Amino acid sequence: MDMILKAIWSQLVTLFEVLRHTFTKADTVEYPEEMPYLAPRYRGRIVLTRDPDGEERCVACNLCAVVCPVDCIALQKTEDDHGRWYPEFFRINFSRCIMCGMCEEACPTYAIQLTPDFEMCEYDRQNMVYEKEHLLISGQGKYHGYSFYNVSGKSIEDKDKGEARNEAPPVDVRSLLP
């Protein structure tokens, strides 16, 4: 009986609490007359960023593509003359993208980032397909100072073996010293 009364009371309180909202102000921001503030980590248009040296951060590891729940990212790895990996093409089909940000979370190099820009409507769906030249920006985006190759063991132009962070110089394999 006590339980039943409590249950009824709880429903009545709910009704009253909701009714009280008749007199509260609406939270809605009337876009586009009024532009809302979007935090830097808002998940909008996706960009590809560059490292502090101005090189493409993307190493074409395919992790963003595999984590994408709608499979809207396609890319192909290629390599420069010095062994640096980069994408030959990088395509995002924004007509499929759900802006979930999983690609940004999966990215080991901070290359792929979501920006607060969400105004990207098109009359033609084909225009929603962004290629690398549309995605690549010239800055570092939200994360400054990170360069993947400076912490990875692979050598590239201007960064030899042993020159990455926390690496000893290459060993002399012919040494037999203890």
Start-end of H helices in 38-147: 63-67, 102-106, 132-135
Choice from 1, 19, 35, 39 touching another protein (CB under 8 A)? 19
Site membership for another protein, residue 68 (CB under 8 A) = yes
Binding-site string for another protein from residue 26 to residue 45, where x marks contact by CB under 8 A and - marks none: xxx-x---------------
Binding to another protein by residue 96, rule CB under 8 A?
A: yes
First to last CA, the chain: 83
Mention every residue, 6+ apart, whose C-beta is less than 8 A from residue 17. Answer: none
Contacts of 127 (CB under 8 A, 6+ apart): none
Q: Which amino acid is at 81?
A: D
* Total chain residues near another protein (CB under 8 A): 72
Could you tell me the two tokens for 174? Answer: 């012919």
Residue 61 CB, shortest distance to another protein, in Å, is 3
Cross-strand pairs, 136 = 48
Binding residue for another protein, selected from 14, 31, 98, 120, defined by CB under 8 A: 14
- Give yes or no for residue 173 binding another protein (CB under 8 A): yes
62 near another protein (CB under 8 A)? yes
- Residue 80 or residue 117: which is nearer to another protein going by CB? 80
